A and B are shown apart, each in its own frame.
Chain A
Amino acid sequence: MKVLVAVKRVVDYNVKVRVKADNSGVDLANVKMSMNPFCEIAVEEAVRLKEKGVATEIVVVSIGPSTAQEQLRTALALGADRAILVESADELNSLAVAKLLKAVVDKEQPQLVILGKQAIDSDNNQTGQMLAALTGFGQGTFASKVEVAGDKVAVTREIDGGAQTVSLSLPAIVTTDLRLNEPRYASLPNIMKAKKKPLEVLTPDALGVSTASTNKTLKVEAPAARSAGIKVKSVAELVEKLKNEAKVI
């Protein structure tokens, strides 16, 4: 079966971002960008499904600026077969991304679509669920285990109190949680080979999708800073402070 994996180019998770002085957003100039960590897990899961003989082809798709080609090449080096970039310079909201992915799903007809559970920049946790709604597919969100059997996929999900397993009819949407797998690194020969793999570039217009949004970001501020704390010398002093100064115990 064909597996479609969506990946996003985001600020590297180790970077401590700074808010711009004019409060228009965070400063991403000259900041290291990477594939969203949850998307890496999605690519890894697709590659493992292919290694098990479940998946026959992996198509990786990204929606974003032309520089997102770097992340698509990374996915190709990790084992994806071909890539699609839907190029848009605008910062798109989840619903617009889900609509563009729906158009790609219609075109490619995958049996399984794997996304990360959330992007670490916008922290929305929406796109997979929205894509499921638009396609009418079942959704297995926050997956820690994925097992395809016949025309069904069993997904074990991380929920607030523990774990839950659901069975979905294929085609289906799965979003990855951190514990689904440990992503591999791309080897140098595979990075070289990935340069020759096909990468198709499309536009929202060509897909006939409007990217208008009902949400508008008015401003972005730095969170309130915590006042500096103190270092205590002993456990006794700590208990004394908690009881008499902070009055929390």
Chain B
Amino acid sequence: MTILVIAEHDNKVLAPATLNTVAAAAKIGGDIHILVAGSNAGAVAEAAAKVAGVSKVLLADNAAYAHQLPENVAPLVAELGAGYSHILAAATSNGKNILPRVAAQLDVDQISEIISVESADTFKRPIYAGNAIATVQSSASVKVITVRATGFDPVAAEGGSAAVEAVGAAHDAGKSSFVGEELAKSDRPELTAAKIVVSGGRGMQNGDNFKHLYALADKLGAAVGASRAAVDAGFVPNDMQVGQTGKIVAPQLYIAVGISGAIQHLAGMKDSKVIVAINKDEEAPIFQVADYGLVADLFEAVPELEKLV
């Protein structure tokens, strides 16, 4: 068995989610190859070659792959991946965008967002917003899978010494082009990789009040998240949303502030090791999943918490 892992990157840095994906590949067993498709992505390929457990890195360096447009990248992955037993990608927005297109080109079903590997052909994945866990078996010749990063501890980023091999194949479907992007800037740790996450909901009342959470987060070295209510109300940008339709996090500590705890929000954070809820409504559903609940006005409790930690 040989497994192809699609690297998640921005042409400069290998994203941490790739390490979790390699961890899933290691559980399946077999040789692990990483594909870096990008433009001027040599540094990413070098970083991928150092990842523990990787035996080969394929570098497809072409301007057509610069922005991970699925119309161009999917044919490349399908062409290279046809000879592999498994194709894995992280369940990031890129992985989710590209991989189903690859699966359809290979005429196989995909398994999305696995959280555990039972055997080389059997995997577990959450359905119904995490309210049920399905065990799925694939009989496909090439198993196409996206991996939920929080389900697997990352492998070491150093220690490997894989060879980098250039792949000449260039696919430019000419169906799509990149126009531009607006990335939110933040000095705090990335939400999906942070050890501590502090999240605010509708109870924050406005965007300005999130400064209380930022102050607490900075003291804890935490990332800041939000519920859909806070995003829809315009308090914070939508890439901060935690939940079924936002980001899935599983930090050591999740502090939910002014969040009621709707099913869709819980889907994104209920695998956190320790959950703390601060809410003035003692009937709020969030208290049913919280390890420590504090019924209090967040505008008093959060500044006090910031002082004490």
Contact = CB atoms under 8 A, between A and B. Distances in A.
Given A120-B128, A121-B127, A164 B178 contact: yes
Contacts of B135: 217-221
Contact of A238 (B173, B247, B292): B292
Contacts of A109: none
A232 B292 contact: yes
B97 A139 contact: yes
A144 B112 CA distance: 22
Tell which of A98, A125, A158, A239 has the most Cβ of chain B within 10 Å. Answer: A125
Contacts of A134: 104
Q: Which label, helix, strand, loop or mixed, suits the secondary structure of the B interface?
A: mixed
B229 to A, nearest CB: 12
Interface size band for B: 35 or more
Nearest to B15: A160
A162 B181 contact: yes
Contacts of A186: none
Given A160-B93, A167-B176, A214-B139, A248 B308 contact: no
B208 interface: no
A231 B293 contact: yes
Interface string B205-241: 0000000000000001000000010011000011100
Contacts of A53: none
Contact of B136 (A127, A142, A215, A231): A215
Contacts of A230: 291-293
Tell which of B100, B137, B175 has the most Cβ of chain A within 10 Å. Answer: B100
Interface string B263-294: 11000001001111000001000010111111
Interface stretch (B26-34, B54-62, B67-75, B157-165): B67-75
Contact of B110 (A94, A117, A142): A94
Interface in B133-167: 133-140
Interface residues of A, number: 79
Given A165-B179, A220-B132, 16 more contacts: A17-B131, A126-B110, A129-B97, A141-B70, A159-B181, A161-B183, A163-B181, A213-B109, A214-B138, A223-B132, A226-B270, A229-B292, A232-B294, A238-B294, A238-B305, A249-B309
Interface of A: 11, 13-14, 16-17, 19, 26, 93-95, 98, 117-118, 120-134, 136-139, 141-142, 144, 154, 157-169, 172, 177-179, 213-223, 226, 229-232, 234-236, 238-239, 241-242, 246, 248-249
List the 9 closest A-B pairs by CB distance, nearest first. A129-B100, A133-B104, A138-B175, A130-B104, A214-B140, A126-B100, A165-B179, A162-B183, A164-B181
